[in-house]
């Protein structure tokens, strides 16, 4: 069992450890790895990962996004067509996000060539321009 997150514990009535601190082994007067039985827990306010310093790193952020998209696919497998439609609609949002990202890189001085070379697998600058450089073609309907 993992050791408890002591910040979740209120004052201990057995060893009198203050709220948020480790219980004490009363014979050795040393911190213990487990709370005394019955020690009350306090409900901590929710702190978004952003404020805890999570998702500030681009790699972790995109890892999160990838896991969320994968989870959406698994959900749709056990849902119905309207959930599938919601997932398909994200495709357009992703396309727009890519275009916004490229527009920002272009404003920062990246060439089409350098953007293409940075992709995995690398493509030519012309290929990136052809795909994302022009306003999105209206879908024929």
- 23, 102, 115, 128: which one contacts Zn ion (CB under 5 A)? 23
- Give 31 or 118: the residue with its C-beta nearer to Zn ion: 31
For residue 11, the minimal CB distance to Zn ion (Å) is 9
In whole angstroms, how far apart are CA 72 and each of 49, 65, 69, 91, 95? 20, 10, 5, 12, 17
* 14 binds Zn ion, rule: CB under 5 A: yes
- Give 36 or 113: the residue with its C-beta nearer to Zn ion: 36
Alpha helices in the chain (DSSP H): 58-77, 81-107, 112-118, 125-128
Contacts of 49 (CB under 8 A, 6+ apart): 55
- 10, 20, 36, 105: which one contacts Zn ion (CB under 5 A)? 36
Task: Tell me the site size for Zn ion, rule CB under 5 A.
Answer: 6
- 12, 22, 102, 128: which one contacts Zn ion (CB under 5 A)? 12
Residue found by looking up tokens 């490229």 in the block: 102
* Site of interaction with Zn ion (CB under 5 A): 12, 14-15, 17, 23, 36
């Amino acid at each position: 069992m993992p050791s408890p997150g002591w910040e979740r514990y209120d004052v201990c009535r057995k060893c009198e450890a203050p709220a948020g601190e480790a219980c004490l082994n009363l014979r050795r007067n040393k911190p213990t790895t487990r709370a005394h039985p019955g020690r009350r827990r306090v409900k901590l306010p929710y702190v978004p990962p952003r404020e805890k310093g999570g998702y500030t790193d681009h790699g972790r952020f995109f890892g999160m996004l990838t896991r969320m998209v994968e989870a959406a696919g698994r959900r749709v497998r056990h849902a119905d067509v309207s959930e599938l439609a919601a997932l398909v609609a994200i495709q357009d949002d992703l396309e727009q996000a890519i275009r916004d990202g490229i527009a920002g890189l272009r404003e920062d001085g990246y060439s089409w060539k350098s953007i293409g070379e940075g992709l995995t697998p690398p493509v030519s600058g012309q290929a990136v321009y052809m795909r994302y450089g022009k306003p999105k073609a209206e879908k024929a309907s």
